Chain A
Amino acid sequence: MAVVSQGIRRERTAWGLLAPTLLILGFTGLLPFVYVLYVGFFDWNVFARVAQLTWAGVANYRQLVFDTDFLASLWRGIRFTLWAVAIEMVLGFALAHLLMKSFRGRGFFRAVHALPLTIAPIAVGATWRLMTLPGFGIVPYWLSRWGIDYNIGRDATQAFFTTVVMDVWHWTPFVTLTLLAGLNALPKEPFEQAQVDGAGPWYILRYLTLPLLRPVLLTALFLRIMDALRIVDEVWMLTGGGPGTATRYAGIHVWRVVFPKTDYGYGSAMSVLLLYFTIVLCWLLMTSITQARKEGAG
């Protein structure tokens, strides 16, 4: 009897400790989620003749699935993510490997390499805009001296790859530092043993480093994928989503469509879809990492 009541009391204490978090996240995370779920079933446009919620059923969602603008922005965002994250992972892994060697000045290079991470995304966008703006920046100026016509205000492909390069500049350090931490935490014995056995560097990389590092690699990969998919501020500052719609990725699209148009019902449906994608991605992340960790242990 006493044990039971003690158990209940302990459970109560735990919920008490969790209360501030649940209150805050309930207000900023759960309430908006429930609210968009609700508004998503209505027509609600502030500028419409009747500016109030009218029941629309699943019309918003039906429209969303066939909305080519939205789907195109989603696909554009995925293409951007694939390019940026692929480059960042390969480059980040190579650099982390280089930074594992001990050499004089390593700390300095590490610090320099980490610098872009500290800059606010919006300032990163501003800086890259200062460098690449047609007729003003230093990059078009240099390239034009070599006879290359570089104009991200006009050329869609150039604008797209400029956003990729900016993302690589900004976020490769994150991958490098994460993998560096992972490499540092690896056990030493298997590597020493492999060396004694006369294994070559490629063999060690393929059969030791990569498998042992898998949980960290997956973590870095997923975090980067999710962050790249939701990018808004840097790209918005650099290109404004243009030229045309060349760099209008999903996040920018939602932002630019919902707010000027104040089509709240439809915007809510979009938000719900984005949140749903996020939950699926998170779930994939969690299961794959737990899986990798289990396999590593077993």
Chain B
Amino acid sequence: MRRARLVAGSWRWFKRSGWLYAAWTLLSLVTLFPIYWMLLVSARTRLELFSEPTLVQKSFYAENYIRPLLRDIYGAYLGNSLLVATGNTLVVVVAAVLATYALSRYRVSGAQNIFFWAITNRMAPPAAFMLPLYLLYTRVIRVGDWSLFDTRIGLILAYSVFNLPFAIWLLKGIVDGIPKELDDAAMVDGASLFQVLTSIIVPLAAPGIAITALLSWIFAWNEYLFAATLTSSHARTITTGLAEFVTVVGTNWGEMAAMSVVATLPALVLLGLVQQYIISGLTFGAVRE
């Protein structure tokens, strides 16, 4: 009797929300599996990799991480990635805050066109910019032996082509949302433009600026194509290093997986910290009250 009620109760529970959990659990497994597999492979020796694949791993072969990072060049690649992503974020955020303020508060003739043109840069395939940037960096802009090719500053500039429009796009809605009366009042009280920006706009837009900076950083960190074509050795980043594992003479799968983990971690941690704020920013201003 009691058991029958329990079964009926569970069935009712399952009908109400159980299928939801079943669906989500299945989906989570599908989502997590490739990441899990990457971790597994990164912990395996060559011998383990080429024997029958199992789903559990008891030992951890740290050499996959240690060798490329400490003995090979991957430590330097990691440093380059950090410097380039951070440098690009700084440049992009400063320029974007100034630009969005201008687009939002002043009646600039042609502002709409500037905005549209900026976005086309973001949407353009990197393959279309790759060749001209490569030619500019190697052949056109050079002073004696120095050129922008294979420099970190060259990458920082190149990444702005997709990150700066994106930052302007995200920040525009946020700066538009700050009441104009606030900075007008400050101006009347004799505040300079610089003071208005630093004491009103930046603090009020801080959450939006933080998200913009974070996403810019991740995009720059993850970028591959520009880094692959605009560098050769000195300024290579971790993503280009990853592709270098695939060679004609074979691939070191364990190290490749380990470096994939390393390349994934920073973005994962950063995004985990601010996940809930990002969702609300993702409508790209398409929905307004």
* Residues of A that sit less than 8 Å from B by CB: 10-11, 13-15, 17-18, 20-22, 24-25, 27-29, 31-33, 35-36, 39, 95, 98, 101, 103, 105, 109-124, 126-131, 136-138, 141, 169, 173, 177-178, 180-182, 184-186, 215-216, 218-219, 223, 226, 229-230, 232-233, 236-237, 240, 250-252, 254-255, 258-259, 264, 267-268, 270-272, 274-275, 278-279, 281-283, 285-286, 289, 293
Residues of B with C-beta under 8 A to A121:
222, 224
Is the C-beta of B59 less than 8 angstroms from some C-beta in chain A? no
The one of B109, B128, B239, B256 in contact with A275, judged by C-beta atoms closer than 8 angstroms, is B128
Q: List 19 A-B contacts (CB under 8 A).
A: A14-B106, A21-B168, A25-B117, A32-B129, A36-B132, A111-B272, A115-B35, A120-B263, A120-B267, A131-B37, A136-B49, A141-B52, A181-B281, A182-B283, A185-B283, A254-B130, A271-B127, A274-B127, A286-B116
Q: A21-B164, A181-B283 are in contact. Are A130 and B125 (CB under 8 A)?
A: no
Contact with A along B200-223 (1 / 0, CB 8 A): 000000000000000000100110
Question: Which of A185, A218, A233 is most buried by chain B, counting CB atoms within 10 A of its CB?
Answer: A233
Contact with A along B122-146 (1 / 0, CB 8 A): 0111111111110110001000000
**Further pairs besides A35-B140, A123-B38, A271-B130: 9, Cβ < 8 Å:** A28-B158, A29-B118, A32-B133, A39-B135, A115-B268, A178-B284, A181-B283, A271-B129, A275-B124
Give the distance to chain B from A82, nearest Cβ to Cβ, in Å.
17
In the docked arrangement, what's the CA distance between A10 and B102, Å? 10
Across the two chains, which residue of chain B brings its CB closest to A180? B279
* Tally of contact residues, B, Cβ under 8 A: 95
B102/A130 in contact, CB under 8 A: no
Give the distance to chain A from B226, nearest Cβ to Cβ, in Å.
10
B95/A21 in contact, CB under 8 A: yes
Q: A18-B114, A226-B123 are in contact. Are A11 and B157 (CB under 8 A)?
A: no
The one of B24, B34, B49 in contact with A98, judged by C-beta atoms closer than 8 angstroms, is B24
Closest 10 CB pairs of A and B: A230-B125, A32-B132, A14-B106, A17-B102, A120-B222, A21-B99, A274-B128, A28-B161, A20-B95, A123-B260
Is the C-beta of B160 less than 8 angstroms from some C-beta in chain A? yes
B256/A20 in contact, CB under 8 A: no
A120/B224 in contact, CB under 8 A: yes
Is the C-beta of B249 less than 8 angstroms from some C-beta in chain A? no
A178/B140 in contact, CB under 8 A: no
Q: A20-B98, A32-B136, A126-B260 are in contact. Are A169 and B124 (CB under 8 A)?
A: no
In the docked arrangement, what's the CA distance between A127 and B168, Å? 33
Residues of B with C-beta under 8 A to A112:
28, 31-32
The one of A18, A127, A218, A279 in contact with B34, judged by C-beta atoms closer than 8 angstroms, is A127
Give the distance to chain B from A137, nearest Cβ to Cβ, in Å.
8
Residues of B with C-beta under 8 A to A278:
120, 123-125, 128
Residues of A with C-beta under 8 A to B47:
none
In the docked arrangement, what's the CA distance between A116 and B33, Å? 11
Across the two chains, which residue of chain B brings its CB closest to A120? B222
Residues of B with C-beta under 8 A to A173:
31
From 82 to 124 in chain B, residues with beta carbon under 8 angstroms from any chain A beta carbon are: 91, 94-96, 98-99, 101-103, 105-109, 114, 116-121, 123-124
B136/A14 in contact, CB under 8 A: no
B53/A138 in contact, CB under 8 A: yes
The one of A24, A128, A232, A255 in contact with B91, judged by C-beta atoms closer than 8 angstroms, is A24
Is the C-beta of B242 less than 8 angstroms from some C-beta in chain A? yes
B164/A25 in contact, CB under 8 A: yes
Q: A21-B99, A36-B131 are in contact. Are A215 and B158 (CB under 8 A)?
A: no
Across the two chains, which residue of chain A brings its CB closest to B167? A21
B286/A216 in contact, CB under 8 A: yes
B286/A293 in contact, CB under 8 A: yes
B161/A25 in contact, CB under 8 A: yes
Is the C-beta of B4 less than 8 angstroms from some C-beta in chain A? no
Residues of A with C-beta under 8 A to B132:
31-33, 35-36, 39, 268, 271
Question: Which of B103, B124, B132, B161 is most buried by chain A, counting CB atoms within 10 A of its CB?
Answer: B132
A230/B127 in contact, CB under 8 A: yes
A118/B34 in contact, CB under 8 A: no
In the docked arrangement, what's the CA distance between A128 and B242, Å? 13
In the docked arrangement, what's the CA distance between A32 and B162, Å? 14
